[in-house]
Structure 1
Amino acid sequence: MHWLERMESDNRLVDYLQQELVSISWLRGEEDFNAALSALVVSFEPTAPLQAWRCFALNTFTRLSEQLALTPASAEGGGTIASFAAIYRRLLALVQGKSLLDVGCSCAYWPLLVAREKGCSGGPIVAIDRRAEALRLSALLADALGLAGQLRLERQDLLQPAFLRLGQFDTVTAIHLLEHLDESELPLALSHLLRVTGRRLLIVVPYEEQAQECYGHRQVFSQAKLQFWGKWCLEQLEGRASFWYEDLLGGLLVIDRQE
C-alpha cells in the first residue's frame, strides 16, 4: 500500500525500497528487489503494465533533465536521480567524436540524453543490453521522447564474441556495469571494450564497502582497483594510450587511445 501519485513514479521508488526494505533486510537479492520494484511501478496502472513502465521511465528522464539544468549541480541528499544527473553532466563534457556506444544501457537514459543534448554531431548512437526487458523499456522511452530515430538498440552481451561485430565508436561508455560482473570476467570485458573504442572509453563504477546484492553487484571497486585496471588497459594497448581517473560519486576511469 502506498499514497504516491502517478507523477511520483520515477527512480525515487528505488530509493524508497532501499531505505525502507533493503535497510532492514526484507529485500536482499536482486530477484526479490526487482520483483518488488516491478510490483510497485505497475501498481500505478495495474491493467496497463507497459504504460506504467513508460510513465516511470519518462518521469525519471524528466527529473534527470531538471537536475541537469541546475547550476551548479549537487547530488547531496538528492538520491539516485541527482547522483546520476551529476555523473551524466560530467560525461557530457567528456564525449568525443561523432559516434557513441553505451554498453549496459538499462533504460537508455544516458544515450537519450546524449541524443538530445549533443547528438554526437550526427554520428550513430547505439545502446546495448543483454536483457530484453531493458531494451523494451528503452524503446518505449525513446518513442515517448521522439528520439527513436536517433538511437539504435541492440541486444548484445559484452562477454560474447558477437559483441565485437558492433564495430568501433569514437566514445564508448560503461556506466555502473563492471560491478555486475565477476572479477574473473574483467579482463575479457575490458578487452572487448577497448576493441570497440576508437578514441575514448569512459567507465564509471560505484565505490562500496560491500557489494549491494539487491542491485546485482558482484564485486566492489576502489580508487586503487580502478587505477590497477587503468594500467592494465594501457598494457593491452602497448602504451598507445593514456588514462586518468577521478572521483565521480564513485570512480571514473578515462582511457584515451592515441590516433
Structure 2
Amino acid sequence: MTALACVDPPPTRVAVRRTLSVPAGFVNCGPFAWRPGIDGVEIIHRLDASTISDASMVDGLLHLVNLGILAGRHAFEQAALGVIRTSAPDDDRAWAAFYDNSLAELADGRSPFAPIHLRARSLVVGESVLEVGSCFGFLALQCAGDGRRVHACDISLGATALLKSAARRRGDDVSAVVGDATALPFGADSVDTVTLIHLLEHLDDGSARRALSEALRVARRRVVVAVPYEDHPSEHFGHLLRLTASHLRHWAELVEPATVEFFDDHGGWMVLTPR
C-alpha cells in the first residue's frame, strides 16, 4: 500500500460526480480521481452514456480499492451506483446505457466476464433456465437472447427491479423475483437448468450447501456452478470464502447429485445432474 492509500478511518460516505477535468486537490487514480471528504471520500470520473459499463466502472473502482481508498462492500457499492447514476443526465438514461454497453461488451468479448458467461450459456440444457444470484441480470438477459424461457432470482430488491426494467425496455422475456438462494421461491423440478454463477463465494459454508441443495430441488436436468479462484476473498465484492476445487468436491459429496463433473475455466466449475 502506498502513501496515497491512507484514508483513515475507512470511508463511511462516498460522493461521486462526473467532470471533464480534474480539479485542484484531487489525486488521479487510474481513470478516476479522488480526494478525502468531510466524512468519507469524493470521487470524480469522466464516464458518460457512451462509455459507462460494468467493466469500465469496475476497472476504475478497483484502482481505488487496490490503494485502500475504498474499503469494504458498502463503500464499493455506494461508489458503483454513484458512477452509474452520474454517467447520464437522468437515472433512466444512465441505467439504459449501463445495460446496453455492458451487454455489448459481453457479446464482443471485451468484458472480463465474457468467457465465463459464454461457458455458462453453453452448459444450459432445456428450454428454461433460472439464474440464482442474478444481480444486474446480464446472464439472464443473454439467455433470453438465446431463446430460453428465463427466470432470475436475487436477494436484492433493487437489483431485481433494475433487471425487470431493463428486460421490459429491451423486449427480453425475463421473469425476475426477489428470493434467497437457500430457500428458492420455485417448485420442485420447475426449470430445466439452474445456474449459480459466482454466487457461492458470497455465502458461508453451510449456506452454500443449502443453496446447492435448493438448486438441485428446482432443476429438472442440470445445475451449473462457477466460482472464482482468488488469493484472498474480494471483500469489496462481498466475498466471504476463498474457494478452491476441494470446496466444490466437498459440497458435491454433501448434496449427493446423480452425477457431477468438475473442470477449470477462468475459475472452478461444477455441473450437477439431479437425482
Q: Flag whether TM exceeds 0.5 (same fold).
A: yes
- Listed as ranges, the matches of 1:10-25 within 5 Å are 10-11=53-54, 12-18=56-62, 20-25=63-68
Q: Does 1:215 align with 2:237?
A: yes
Distance in 1 (CA, whole Å) between partners of 2:68 and 2:250 is 33
Distance in 1 (CA, whole Å) between partners of 2:121 and 2:236 is 29
- Greater helix fraction, Structure 1 or Structure 2: 1
1:145 aligned partner: 170
1:154 aligned partner: 177
Identify which of 54, 58, 64 aligns with 2:106. 64
Q: Does 1:252 align with 2:275?
A: no
The amino acid across from 1:138 in the alignment is L
Structure 1 stretches of at least 4 aligned residues deviating more than 6 Å after TM superposition:
none
- 8 A contact 1:164–1:192 mirrored in 2: no
The amino acid across from 1:94 in the alignment is L
Distance in 2 (CA, whole Å) between partners of 1:203 and 1:86 is 14
Provide closer, same or farther for how the CA distance between residues 242 and 96 of structure 1 changes in structure 2, counting only shifts above 3 A.
same
Across the two proteins, how many residue pairs are aligned to each other? 231
Distance in 2 (CA, whole Å) between partners of 1:4 and 1:191 is 42
Provide closer, same or farther for how the CA distance between residues 132 and 50 of structure 1 changes in structure 2, counting only shifts above 3 A.
farther
- 8 A contact 1:164–1:195 mirrored in 2: no
Distance in 1 (CA, whole Å) between partners of 2:92 and 2:202 is 26
Alpha-carbon shift at residue 42 of structure 1 (Å): 1.5
- 8 A contact 2:201–2:242 mirrored in 1: yes
Q: Does 1:242 align with 2:259?
A: yes
Alpha-carbon shift at residue 164 of structure 1 (Å): 4.3
Q: Does 1:31 align with 2:74?
A: yes
Distance in 1 (CA, whole Å) between partners of 2:270 and 2:217 is 16
Alpha-carbon shift at residue 169 of structure 1 (Å): 1.2
Provide closer, same or farther for how the CA distance between residues 6 and 170 of structure 1 changes in structure 2, counting only shifts above 3 A.
same
Structure 2: state its 5+ residue gaps.
1-43
Q: Which one has more relative contact order, counting CA pairs under 8 Å at least 6 apart?
A: 1
1:85 aligned partner: 114
Alpha-carbon shift at residue 167 of structure 1 (Å): 5.2
Q: Does 1:42 align with 2:64?
A: no
SS at match of 1:231: helix
2:138 aligned partner: 109
The amino acid across from 2:98 in the alignment is F
Identify which of 102, 127, 151 aligns with 1:126. 151
Alpha-carbon shift at residue 10 of structure 1 (Å): 0.3
- 8 A contact 1:57–1:137 mirrored in 2: no
Report sequence identity in percent: 31
SS at match of 1:163: coil
- 8 A contact 2:189–2:220 mirrored in 1: no
Structure 1: state its 5+ residue gaps.
68-77
Distance in 2 (CA, whole Å) between partners of 1:24 and 1:203 is 32
- Greater strand fraction, Structure 1 or Structure 2: 2
Distance in 1 (CA, whole Å) between partners of 2:180 and 2:274 is 23
The amino acid across from 1:143 in the alignment is R
The amino acid across from 1:158 in the alignment is A
Distance in 2 (CA, whole Å) between partners of 1:42 and 1:257 is 42
RMSD over aligned CA atoms reads 1.7
Distance in 2 (CA, whole Å) between partners of 1:169 and 1:228 is 25
2:196 aligned partner: 174
